[in-house]
């Protein structure tokens, strides 16, 4: 093997390793746990403010019954129901999908599946969730969907969805995280110019964030 072939092989191996490392990193439940925390803090208020319509009151009441299971990490019961009056987020999404509360059930069901490591199953629910013009629930949904795309090797979709999540979340702490995750995927695909643009965006627009603290080393790496 020539030196040039060896170099190309090493570059390809490095890209694959980075991609695999990205997926492994985002299998870490800490990422989804952060999303769950957003939901638990803002879930009720978002539900009341954005999703509670007159035709969806029954579905909204059913959603509320699942909060305890969701908060306790009993995602299987949250999904499937408890046979004691709570039918589960899956059935709420199926039966009341035309309502705002049914729409939110898609989000909860997707998060539950993602928490169980069932990203393929999570994707249809998260895709079905109709995002709203808010800076908590909708960006969290898109961030989770992007991670699910990444873990199922749908990397182009993951990048696009991370960018969408960052744009929707505005200047909260989630935006630079999403941009960095998108950049890391692009870097793993050897799309250095696109990755550099996102790293620079983090530095320029979110320079005081925790994510930006070590951003210079990423910028330097893709600038070579």
d(CA 222, CA 150): 21
Q: Report the domain count for the chain.
A: 2
pLDDT at 53 > cutoff 50: yes
Query: How much is the pLDDT for 173?
Result: 83
Query: How much is the pLDDT for 119?
Result: 96
Query: How much is the pLDDT for 97?
Result: 82
- Residue 124 belongs to some domain of the structure: no
Query: How much is the pLDDT for 83?
Result: 87
CATH number, domain of 189, equals: 1.25.40.10
Let me know whether 107 and 157 are in one domain: no
- Residue 4 belongs to some domain of the structure: yes
Rounded-to-10 torsion of CA 165, 166, 169, 170? -150
Largest CA distance in the chain: 70
Question: Domain boundary residue among 61, 84, 116?
Answer: 116
Q: What is the mean pLDDT of residues 18-43?
A: 51
Mean pLDDT, all residues of the chain: 81
Angle among Cα 184, 1, 7 to the nearest 5 degrees reads: 25
Question: Domain boundary residue among 88, 116, 144?
Answer: 116
Q: Is 26 buried (19+), middle (13-18) or exposed (0-12) by CB count in 10 A?
A: buried
Q: Please write the tens of the pLDDT for every residue from 111-121.
A: 999 999 999 99
Let me know whether 19 and 44 are in one domain: no
What is the Cα gyration radius of the chain? 19
d(CA 125, CA 186): 26
Question: pTM score, two decimals?
Answer: 0.80
- Residue 122 belongs to some domain of the structure: no
**Domain that residue 183 falls in:** 1-27+134-224
User: Which pLDDT band, with edges at 50, 70 and 90, does 17 fall under?
Assistant: very low
Higher-pLDDT residue of 189 and 137 is 189
d(CA 1, CA 153): 30
Let me know whether 139 and 224 are in one domain: yes
φ, ψ of residue 52 to 5 degrees: the values are -90, 95
Let me know whether 152 and 197 are in one domain: yes
Let me know whether 22 and 90 are in one domain: no
- Residue 193 belongs to some domain of the structure: yes
Query: How much is the pLDDT for 158?
Result: 97
Q: What is the mean pLDDT of residues 200-216?
A: 95
User: Is 115 in contact with 70 (CB distance < 8 Å)?
Assistant: no
Non-local (6+) Cβ contacts of 99 within 8 A are 53, 55, 56, 59
pLDDT at 189 > cutoff 80: yes
Let me know whether 108 and 39 are in one domain: yes
- Residue 19 belongs to some domain of the structure: yes
Query: How much is the pLDDT for 13?
Result: 40
Let me know whether 20 and 39 are in one domain: no
Let me know whether 207 and 152 are in one domain: yes
DSSP string, 53-111: -GGGHHHHHHHHHTHHHHHTT-HHHHHH--SSS---HHHHHHHSTTSHHHHHHHHHHHH
User: Which pLDDT band, with edges at 50, 70 and 90, does 33 fall under?
Assistant: low
Q: What is the mean pLDDT of residues 184-200?
A: 96
Non-local (6+) Cβ contacts of 53 within 8 A are 99, 100, 101
Query: How much is the pLDDT for 28?
Result: 47
Let me know whether 143 and 106 are in one domain: no
Q: What is the mean pLDDT of residues 69-84?
A: 93
- Residue 203 belongs to some domain of the structure: yes
Lowest mean per-residue pLDDT among 84-88, 111-115, 167-171? 167-171
- Residue 142 belongs to some domain of the structure: yes
Distances (CA, A) of 137 to 109, 127, 174: 13, 14, 11
- Residue 127 belongs to some domain of the structure: no
Let me know whether 217 and 194 are in one domain: yes
Let me know whether 223 and 142 are in one domain: yes
pLDDT at 166 > cutoff 80: yes
Higher-pLDDT residue of 105 and 43 is 105
Residue percentage of the chain with pLDDT more than 90: 54
């Amino acid at each position: 093997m020539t030196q040039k072939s060896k170099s190309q092989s090493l570059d390809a191996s490095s890209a694959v390793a980075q991609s695999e490392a990205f997926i492994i990193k985002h299998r870490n439940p800490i990422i989804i746990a952060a999303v769950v925390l957003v939901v638990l803090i803002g879930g009720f208020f978002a539900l009341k403010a954005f999703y509670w319509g007159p035709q969806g009151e029954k579905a909204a009441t059913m959603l509320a019954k699942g909060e305890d299971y969701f908060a306790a990490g009993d995602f299987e019961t949250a999904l499937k129901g408890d046979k004691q009056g709570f039918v589960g987020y899956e059935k709420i999404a199926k039966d009341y999908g035309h309502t705002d509360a049914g729409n939110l059930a898609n989000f909860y069901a997707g998060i539950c599946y993602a928490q169980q490591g069932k990203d393929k199953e999570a994707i249809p629910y998260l895709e079905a969730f109709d995002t709203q013009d808010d800076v908590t629930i909708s960006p969290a949904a898109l961030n989770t969907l992007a991670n699910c795309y990444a873990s199922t090797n749908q990397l182009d979709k993951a990048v696009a969805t991370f960018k969408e999540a960052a744009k929707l979340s505005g200047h909260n702490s989630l935006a630079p995280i999403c941009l960095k995750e998108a950049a890391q995927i692009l870097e793993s695909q050897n799309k250095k110019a696109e990755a550099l643009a996102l790293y620079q965006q983090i530095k320029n627009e979110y320079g005081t964030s925790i994510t930006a603290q070590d951003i210079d080393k990423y910028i330097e790496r893709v600038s070579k």
